[in-house]
């Protein structure tokens, strides 16, 4: 199975884990200049499942940027939610617009153009609603991070600032609805599999990839989303307490890895290996950050150790991208192998007939 198919949440997991690795730059620690530069040069959302639609210059000029704590200003973060989340919001709106148009075409062609109708129905089935959910789940924690920055900065008296604050609040509630929906879908299917799978077939992102050996393993997506929110809220709001931030995110990550190893929630081995390996990368980086936080708190200079810790973080950041690109290629090869086997089997059946 492909990590990018409509019902497969691999891209969402990857985007969330990548942001957890990178967002330790917002913990106010004495990193080495080399690591600070590496943080600054990193893409803020390297594995985001978004299109990259640029905000119009006229609108951008109307969105005032208010002062944020220095640790966020250091990386040129904006306070405005609309500006920070523009890519995610416009990507979701574009996908919803495509779904709407395809739905209209399907209705219009239902009576006469059966072939066209079936083609558009198949395309619609792959998009609705898994694809917009994939985008939102991949940026789930980031939405709460951006909303926190906006609410800290306030709204001011500009209409667009008020709209931005309103959007931040709305997206917080939409996130809560998505989290609640993921739990409901899993709960319904756990109770009545065949009937409810048909009912929730457009929400496969929440249940298709997970083992059903326990309710906790089957509900992995809800756990992943809740963890993403908690991580981002800690980074965005506890910026005055770097040691507390480091301790909390380490606790969360160790609990998550323990859960993964005990429950093994994913059906497919390749996906599970990739997910667990990425969590181990996150643990290593978080542990390095915790050691630096302890050194800072105790006023321990320890330059050699600090250099080693920061170099380890830099190594993990570079290995993470290469490792996951390698897994992506491997998954494509596996899918290609199975397709070739199926085609050969069909060809052999045709020859026998």
Dist. CA 331–CA 18, nearest whole Å:
19
Closest among 271, 321, 343, 307 to 31, alpha carbons compared: 307
* Phi–psi pair at 209, nearest 5 degrees: -90, 5
Question: DSSP 3-state assignment of 329?
Answer: helix
In this prediction, residue 4 carries a pLDDT of: 42
Where the chain has pLDDT below 70, the residues are 1-7, 44-49, 156, 350-353
Dist. CA 319–CA 312, nearest whole Å:
10
Dist. CA 65–CA 83, nearest whole Å:
9
| Residues 203/181, Cβ–Cβ less than 8 Å | yes
In this prediction, residue 285 carries a pLDDT of: 97
* Separation in Å, CA 68 to CA 84, 237, 245: 13, 11, 18
Residue 210: beta bridge partners? 266
Question: DSSP 3-state assignment of 208?
Answer: coil
* Separation in Å, CA 299 to CA 172, 239, 249: 38, 19, 22
In this prediction, residue 328 carries a pLDDT of: 80
In this prediction, residue 46 carries a pLDDT of: 66
pLDDT digits (tens, 9 = 90+) for 138-188: 999 999 999 999 999 877 677 888 899 999 999 999 999 999 999 999 999
Which residues, including other chains, have CB under 8 Å from residue 170's CB and lie 6 or more apart? none
| Neighbouring C-beta atoms of residue 238, cutoff 10 Å | 16
Dist. CA 83–CA 78, nearest whole Å:
7
pLDDT digits (tens, 9 = 90+) for 103-122: 888 888 877 777 777 877 87
Question: DSSP 3-state assignment of 210?
Answer: strand
Extract the tokens encoding 209: 């990839």
In this prediction, residue 3 carries a pLDDT of: 41
Dihedral sign computed on CA atoms, order 105, 177, 172, 88: negative
| Residues 130/205, Cβ–Cβ less than 8 Å | yes
Closest among 16, 5, 47 to 224, alpha carbons compared: 16
Query: What burial letters (b/e) apply to 308-317, b meaning 16+ CB within 10 Å?
Result: ebbebbbebb
* Separation in Å, CA 151 to CA 161, 168, 226, 265, 343: 11, 8, 20, 36, 55
Q: Token pair 């009937």 is at which residue?
A: 195
* Separation in Å, CA 262 to CA 158, 209, 228, 277: 51, 17, 20, 15
Long-range contacts of 340-346 (CB under 8 A, 24+ apart): none
The model's pTM is: 0.89
In this prediction, residue 351 carries a pLDDT of: 60
End-to-end CA, the chain: 30
DSSP 178-190: HHHHHHHHHHHHH
Residue 266: beta bridge partners? 210
Torsion (CA) 174, 175, 177, 183 in degrees, nearest 10: 160
């Amino acid at each position: 199975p492909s990590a990018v198919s409509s019902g497969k949440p691999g891209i969402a997991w990857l985007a969330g884990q990548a942001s957890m690795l990178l967002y330790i730059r917002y913990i106010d620690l004495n990193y080495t200049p080399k690591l600070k530069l590496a943080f600054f040069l990193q893409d803020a959302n390297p594995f985001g499942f978004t299109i990259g639609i640029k905000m119009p210059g006229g609108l951008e000029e109307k969105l005032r940027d208010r002062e944020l704590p220095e640790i966020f200003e250091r990386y040129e973060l904006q306070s405005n939610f609309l500006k920070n989340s523009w890519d995610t919001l416009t990507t979701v709106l574009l996908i919803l617009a495509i779904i709407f148009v395809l739905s209209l075409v399907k209705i219009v062609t239902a009576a006469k153009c059966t072939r066209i109708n079936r083609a558009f129905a198949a395309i619609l089935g792959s998009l609705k609603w898994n694809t917009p959910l994939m985008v939102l789940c991949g940026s789930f924690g980031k939405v709460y991070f951006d909303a926190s920055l906006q609410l800290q900065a306030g709204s001011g008296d500009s209409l667009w600032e008020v709209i931005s604050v309103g959007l931040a609040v709305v997206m917080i509630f939409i996130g809560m609805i998505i989290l609640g929906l993921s739990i409901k879908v899993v709960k319904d299917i756990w109770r009545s599999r065949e009937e409810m799978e048909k009912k929730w077939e457009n929400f496969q992102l929440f249940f298709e990839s997970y083992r059903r050996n326990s309710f906790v393993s089957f509900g992995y997506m809800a756990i992943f989303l809740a963890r993403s929110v908690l991580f981002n809220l800690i980074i965005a709001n506890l910026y005055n307490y770097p040691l507390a931030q480091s301790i909390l995110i380490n606790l969360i990550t160790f609990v998550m890895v323990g859960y993964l190893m005990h429950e093994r929630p994913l059906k497919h081995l390749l996906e599970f290996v990739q997910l667990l390996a990425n969590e181990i990368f996150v643990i290593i980086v978080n542990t390095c950050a915790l050691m630096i936080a302890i050194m800072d708190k105790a006023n321990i200079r320890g330059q050699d150790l600090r250099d080693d810790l920061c170099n380890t973080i830099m190594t993990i950041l570079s290995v993470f991208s290469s490792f996951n690109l390698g897994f992506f290629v491997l998954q494509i090869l596996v899918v290609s192998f199975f397709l070739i086997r199926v085609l050969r089997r069909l060809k052999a059946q045709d020859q026998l007939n």
